[in-house]
Amino acid sequence: MKKSILLLITLITLASCGGDNKSVDAIIDSNDMAAVKAKRTDLNKQQRELKADIDKLNEYIDQNEKKERPALVTAEVIKDTIFKHYVEVQGNVETDQNVVLNAEYSGVLTNVYVKEGQQVSKGQRLAKIDDGGLSSQVAQQEAQMALAQTTFERQERLWNQKIGSEIQYLQAKTSYESAKNVTQQLRSQLSKTIITAPFSGVVDEIISDPGQVLIPGQTQVIRLINLSDMYVKASIPETYLKNIKKGTQVKVNLASINEDFTGTVRQVSNYINPNNRSFDIQVEIPNKDGLVKPNLIATVKVNDYSAEAAITVPENILMENAEGETIAYIYKPVNDSIGIAKRVLLKTGLSYQNHTEVKSGLKKGDTIIKEGAKTLRDGQKVTIKN
């Protein structure tokens, strides 16, 4: 094509100038308008004739030279690699130690012993509810229990010495056991006036203020959270149940705090949700800096399939023939610069991140054609672009 363009420029120059630039200049200098127009008409005619000839030459070149011109392609030598497929779902960060402590006793909240953000230990007193005189009842009942215990122990010693009647012994025993049970019940009720930490953690929120009347089981008092045992909970479609188990590798991304974690599945649910046909998994994640918070949204990638020494190819170079079979082209060298494109039928597996595993049809060391593959035909000459 470059040769034909150069030829066109040369011929036009020769025709227009007649081999001598002065001939055109001389006509212009003569100020003869008729001669100038005649010269222009003559040159236009020569130009049309030259163009027609050049078109014929180009047509001949296209029909003959292109048949032998190899197609320009890019190629890559196939290597075996580790192929991993991941199921990507959305999950939530959770912790089992995130509770709201409710009032268990009816009364006025008299004291709150902690502040928001304070670290507390398991069993530590957090708040106090007015017992309404219950502590006095407990003290009185404890005195009655002590008397009943003393009476029972004396009656028991007499009974062991065969002194007194059996009915006196049984009455003393019953009175003591009854008093002890009542005392235990009152102590249990009194203990509910003290709100304590069920586990070590951080006081996240104080919901009720001193002076507020609390209703058992309804009034929320304090939220307590422990951020040391965090995990991600995600729902996986039931079709992957066979491939996901405890110990399966997982990648977790928390976009809101720009953190990535690699972990394993620590628990697989035994229950299939009938509403969305899925099962839940839990993935433990570290929280050294305390940045991971409950209810953060997480992107969870679960490794449901892995293959060692796998053959993978870019997904976009795969094609289908008329029979619906997957095909690709490999490069077979003819000499140092030219080869041929050979069509191969492939049996493919899973795809992930724009790469597809090839089960059969390719082997390590084959050179697969990438760019330019979609316009090739079997056996066509090709050359690899550097």
Q: Along the 386 residues of the chain, how does pLDDT read in single tens digits?
A: 444 444 445 545 544 444 444 478 888 888 888 888 888 888 888 888 898 888 888 888 777 655 567 889 999 999 999 999 999 999 999 998 999 999 999 999 999 999 999 999 999 999 999 998 888 999 999 999 999 999 999 888 888 888 878 888 899 899 999 999 999 999 999 899 999 999 999 999 999 999 999 999 899 999 999 988 899 999 999 999 999 999 999 999 999 999 999 999 999 999 999 999 999 999 999 988 889 999 999 999 999 999 999 999 999 999 999 889 999 999 999 988 899 999 999 999 999 999 999 999 999 999 999 999 888 999 999 999 87
pLDDT attached to residue 108: 93
Assessment of whether the complete model's pTM goes beyond 0.85: no
Tokens 């040769």 sit on residue: 3
What is the separation of C-alpha 181 from the centre of its chain, rounded to a whole number of angstroms?
A: 57
The predicted structure's pLDDT at residue 57: 85
Crossing angle of helices 33-65 and 2-17, in 10° steps, is 160
Rounded to the nearest 5 degrees, what angle is found at the Cα of 369, between the Cα atoms of 366 and 371? Answer: 155
* Token output for 19: 């081999």
* Burial profile 42-67: b = 16 or more Cβ within 10 angstroms, e = fewer: ebeeeeeebeeebeeeeeeeeeeeee
On whether the CB atoms of residues 265 and 275 are closer than 8 A, the answer is: no
Boundaries of every domain in the chain: 2-65, 71-81+308-384, 89-96+226-307, 100-125+198-225, 131-192
* Top CATH class, 100-125+198-225: mainly beta
Q: Which two tokens stand for residue 211?
A: 């002076």
As a whole number of angstroms, the distance between CA 213 and CA 221 comes to 11
Q: Which residue has the tokens 């212009």?
A: 28
Give residue 8's pLDDT: 47
Dihedrals phi, psi of 41, to nearest 5 degrees: -60, -40
Q: What is the Cα–Cα distance from 170 to 152, expressed in whole angstroms?
A: 9
Q: For 71-81+308-384, CATH number?
A: 2.40.420.20
pLDDT for position 17: 45
Residues near 307 by Cβ (< 8 Å), separated by ≥ 6?
A: 82, 83, 84, 349, 357
**Alpha-carbon torsion angle 173, 175, 181, 184, nearest 10:** -110
Q: By the 8 A CB rule, do 85 and 304 touch?
A: yes
Backbone phi, psi, residue 122, to 5°: -60, 130
The pLDDT of residue 14 is: 47
Return the pLDDT at 66. 54
Minimal CA–CA distance to 187: which of 232, 249, 142?
A: 142
Fold of 89-96+226-307: Elongation Factor Tu (Ef-tu); domain 3 (2.40.30)
Q: Which CATH class is domain 131-192?
A: mainly alpha
Q: Within a 10 A sphere around the Cβ of 146, how many other Cβ atoms?
A: 13
Residue pointed to by tokens 């928001």: 116
Nearest to 341 by CA among 317, 386, 377, 315: 377
